[in-house]
Amino acid sequence: MIPRAYTKFLILSAALSVGCGENLLDESACDAEGEVQVVANLPSGGTKGVSTKVEVTGTILNGPGVAVRSIELVLTAADKSTTVFPVSKDSDNFKTWSAELPLEALVDAADVEGDDETALTKLVSVSAQYDDACDSERSPVELGRIRVDREALLTVEMLQISQPEFDTSTTALPVGGADFVDVEVTADANAIGATVRLESDELDVEPDALRFSRSASGGASAKFKIASRDEAGTGLLTASSKDETATRLVRVVGAPTVSPSSWALEPGERVQLSVRSDVGIRCSAIATDGLEITANGTTLIFNEVSNPTDSVGRLDILVRAEDDADADSSATINCSDVFGQRGSSTILVSVPEPMGRG
């Protein structure tokens, strides 16, 4: 859709020298000095720029001594290169005329070497040059400038979301992570300058949209930041640019769980604790006399036992109350994952009251 356009009127008044056009039926028609007025309806493009072909219409009001044989519209880029387009004569002597400027030509004329290749809109100058049978010199007429939406012609292929730049070797985010991590969206070089969006219902994304710039490898690149929220699970990232989409799943892991989280043992009893996490874990214990705590055959009291498995952290811990344990005996088992998220369990010793004698 062409943005709302305004009509730019430019009136050129020029005294034409006396001469005789070979195509005139009456050579005396060139004997008079006259004026020519060129009026063109030129869309400005607004703030977003035109995104389709442009239809330009106009009139040439001929005075005495003027005989217009042809008109051309000229697109002039900032490097002074020009592109010429013919004009259709809608009435005698071009009193009314029209021309079509393809979007491709407008973008090419506005896209000059050395300019900001990520700029969404660029300006292209439009002028008219005409051939007067009574004046052999062409006199270009500046009509104005059109703002062009160069993104309208960009293509996006090979759209991908790269692996996020996690802070640890674990390919996951912790729940409620305060720190954002970088994630790169890439595409082929033809996408440079195009807008790309990154969205997720489960993750925070900043910003929601960027424009592709040139990467070190020569392709298109846009770097976003993502962070987890307060719920473990899987976050879906969706990148979209033009008609292309790409997705990537990101794991969000919660703190390790230690089950049961609390337990009371009588002397001589034992309980097995189950520690689970989606990433590697480390566990240790602080205990008073009267309790034995082991995992993988190693005592946890004042020692640390780890299971740094990336895909799943699993550790079974055995707690046994010695036969002579008293009611003051207790233990706390602490487990943490690679992100520092913690889970724990508290074990107490309950000594039953002596049975009364009947």
The pLDDT tens digits of the residues spanning 67-95 come to 777 888 888 876 778 888 888 887 776 77
**pLDDT category of residue 312 using cuts at 50, 70 and 90:** low
Give the domain-ending residue among 253, 287, 303.
Answer: 253
Buried b (16+ CB within 10 A) or exposed e, 211-243: bbeebeeebbbbebbbbbbeebeebebebbbbe
The pLDDT tens digits of the residues spanning 140-187 come to 788 888 888 878 878 899 999 999 998 777 789 999 877 899 999 999
Which of 40-54, 134-148, 168-182, 246-260 is modeled with the greatest confidence? 246-260
- Quick one: what percent of the chain has pLDDT higher than 90? 40
Structural domain boundaries enclosing 290: 257-349
- With respect to residue 11, please indicate whether it lies within any of the assigned structural domains: no
CATH classification at residue 86:
2.60.40
Name the average pLDDT for the chain.
81
Alpha helices in the chain (DSSP H): 103-110
pLDDT at position 25: 36
- Is-cis flag, bond preceding 260, omega within 30? yes
pLDDT at position 72: 87
- With respect to residue 85, please indicate whether it lies within any of the assigned structural domains: yes
- Cα separations (Å) of 299 from 210, 277, 285, 304, 320? 54, 21, 9, 8, 11
Give the domain-ending residue among 130, 153, 176.
Answer: 153
244 and 206 Cβ atoms separated by less than 8 Å = no
- With respect to residue 330, please indicate whether it lies within any of the assigned structural domains: yes
- With respect to residue 167, please indicate whether it lies within any of the assigned structural domains: yes
Residue 9 has pLDDT above 60, yes or no: no
User: pTM to 2 decimals?
Assistant: 0.66
- With respect to residue 227, please indicate whether it lies within any of the assigned structural domains: yes
Q: How far is CA 152 from the centre of its chain?
A: 16
- With respect to residue 102, please indicate whether it lies within any of the assigned structural domains: yes
Structure tokens at 173: 């985010």
- Quick one: what percent of the chain has pLDDT higher than 70? 78
Q: Identify whether residues 134 and 55 lie together within a single domain.
A: yes
Dihedral sign of CA atoms 354, 355, 357, 358 in order: positive
pLDDT at position 195: 92
Q: Identify whether residues 261 and 292 lie together within a single domain.
A: yes
Helix (H, G, I), strand (E, B) or coil at 180: coil
Domain count, the chain: 3
Q: Identify whether residues 148 and 166 lie together within a single domain.
A: no
Write the burial class of residue 179 (CB in 10 Å: 0-12 exposed, 13-18 middle, 19+ buried): exposed
pLDDT at position 338: 85
pLDDT at position 134: 73
Give the domain-ending residue among 114, 133, 153.
Answer: 153
CATH classification at residue 166:
2.60.40.10
